[in-house]
Structure 1
Amino acid sequence: MLPDRRHQNRPSALAFLLLSCLAGAAHGQTSADLSLLSEYAGRGTALSTHPVAQLRVERDIRIDADGAGAWYAGTFASPVTLGGRDLGQLSVYGGRAQRLGTILSWDAGATRNVYLRDSRWNYHEFYAGVTWNRLGARLFYSPAYYGDERSLYLDLNGAWPINERVQLAAHAGLLHPFEEEHGAPGEGGGRVDLRLALVTDVRDVSLQAGWQVKGTSYLPGSRRASALTASASFRF
């Protein structure tokens, strides 16, 4: 799988729109978190094998009068390594979240991922999902995943309290690239990534220590994610 240059110069209208919403919204709530990770892994692939710092900022740009739903927009920044080069990732996203009851909700939106210094990897995704109590599921569709082929990704998450201070978080994901079904023998089928982590909060800092299955990496030349990971996130 190699990046498709047909998508290299696609204008980032979604990024411009979402950043404008973040800057210009007069009402709503803004949240942010700064995270330190032992490794940046995504969907079973190590996007950076070194410790990294990441920043995420999100804003509810309009909240319903009954408090049951809101539009939101956010941005995320992190260093990454793709194709043997150190790059910067900038992601912007936005969507709609709505509660359907006390424990059930849904959300849907879109994400644009831009890689500074090498736009061949740029791609966008559309997603929709539901959350029930402590369980959540989202389905992502990309027409050109990492600038290459169409893909679906199913993201499943859950959290269960162990005691008053510690909870167990679980993640399972299935990546399905469409065109690989017709590739070389053995290339087809989905890729599964699994992760378990212990999570605790110390005031405004969330600490995680986790274990993940070292599956097959989707990106050529990229390493599989490490088995053991750790992170600390500061909310402000």
Structure 2
Amino acid sequence: MPFHRRHGAILLALALTLPLYKDARAQTSGDLTLVSEYAGRGVALYTRPALQLRLEHDTAAGWYGGAFASPVTLDNRTQGQLTAYAGRARRLTSTLSWDAGVTRNTYLRDGRRNYHEFYAGVALQRASIRVFYSPTYYGEGRSVYLDLSGAYPLTDTLRLAAHVGVLHPFAYDGVAARDSADVRIALVTDVGDVTLQAGWQARWRTYLPDFPKPSAFTASASYHF
């Protein structure tokens, strides 16, 4: 079973649904997700309930590519976000795998905010760590984002997901920027092909002052196909 199905808690703790390991067979999969609010890395990108779509194709050699779509609000303009990503994931041992790739974020009505990121990470059975580097984060300047995520089973059907992220923006136009951090904790369960999650999120400082702060409560329902 693919990583995003076996560890939906980690998936739901991230802004982008990028798996860290896949089965050694070609397959196409997707998720249709209803979120209470589209938030990521400590900022609210869409403050109302939103319907999001992710499609992905994996190859037997570990290569994968996919796309993610969601409504967003940038600079008081509601528009669409399209994210394309591609990479490769391979298992190192029975419990350890690595993953690396690139993403491209495109905003349909505000191309100034477009940016891409390079990422690399490793995953154990219940935890993962990833580093993202962007030359022009949200059209601003260079940044590095560290993502730590994990999931712990509480019962046969319920698990606890946790995520901590730290963003280090480099100087913008010669002005030093402050580091920021975000945290999310959620309860996650699967009902057939549907993953349900509800939890709490918060941030420390902000690197994008024009973006609203996300709500403390977060919830979503994802249908996997």
One fold, TM greater than 0.5? yes
Aligned match of 1:5? none
The question of whether the paired residues in 2 share the 8 Å contact of 1:182 and 1:188 is answered with no
Report how far residue 220 of structure 1 moved: 3.3
Aligned match of 2:215? 226
Taking every aligned residue pair, what percent have the same amino acid on both sides?
A: 59
Please tell me the residue identity of whatever aligns with 2:113: W
Q: What secondary structure does 2:112 align onto?
A: helix
Report how far residue 28 of structure 1 moved: 2.1
Aligned match of 1:90? 82
Instruction: Show the 5 A alignment for 1:204-219.
Output: 204-219=193-208
Cα 1:215–1:181 change in 2 (3 A) is farther
Aligned match of 1:159? 151
Report how far residue 85 of structure 1 moved: 0.8
Higher alpha-carbon deviation: 210-219 or 48-57 = 210-219
Report how far residue 152 of structure 1 moved: 0.1
Say whether 1:47 aligns with 2:36: no
Unaligned residue ranges in structure 2 (runs of 5+): 1-24
Q: Return the match for 1:79 from 60, 71, 78.
A: 71
Report how far residue 109 of structure 1 moved: 0.3
**Cα offsets for 1:158-188 (capped at 9, x unmatched):** 00000011000000000110115952xxx63
The question of whether the paired residues in 1 share the 8 Å contact of 2:44 and 2:212 is answered with yes
Aligned match of 1:132? 124
Counterpart CA distance in 2 for 1:132 and 1:232 is 25
Instruction: Show the 5 A alignment for 1:1-150.
Output: 28-60=26-58, 62-64=59-61, 70-150=62-142
Please tell me the residue identity of whatever aligns with 1:168: L
| RMSD value, Cα | 1.4
The question of whether the paired residues in 1 share the 8 Å contact of 2:79 and 2:109 is answered with yes
Unaligned residue ranges in structure 1 (runs of 5+): 1-26, 65-69
**What's the TM-score, normalizing by structure 2?**
0.86
The question of whether the paired residues in 2 share the 8 Å contact of 1:216 and 1:224 is answered with no
The question of whether the paired residues in 1 share the 8 Å contact of 2:31 and 2:55 is answered with yes
Say whether 1:198 aligns with 2:187: yes
Counterpart CA distance in 1 for 2:111 and 2:85 is 18
Aligned match of 1:17? none
The question of whether the paired residues in 1 share the 8 Å contact of 2:181 and 2:203 is answered with no
Please tell me the residue identity of whatever aligns with 1:33: D
The structure whose Rg is larger is: 1
Aligned match of 2:171? 179
The question of whether the paired residues in 1 share the 8 Å contact of 2:41 and 2:182 is answered with yes
Report how far residue 148 of structure 1 moved: 1.1
Deviating runs (4+, > 4 A) in structure 1? Answer: none
**Cα offsets for 1:4-62 (capped at 9, x unmatched):** xxxxxxxxxxxxxxxxxxxxxxx8200100000000001000001000000000101x3
Aligned match of 2:13? none
- Matched residue pairs, number? 201
Counterpart CA distance in 2 for 1:181 and 1:188 is 10
Q: Return the match for 1:189 from 169, 172, 178.
A: 178
The question of whether the paired residues in 2 share the 8 Å contact of 1:142 and 1:151 is answered with yes
Counterpart CA distance in 1 for 2:133 and 2:206 is 19
**What's the TM-score, normalizing by structure 1?**
0.82
Counterpart CA distance in 1 for 2:93 and 2:144 is 28
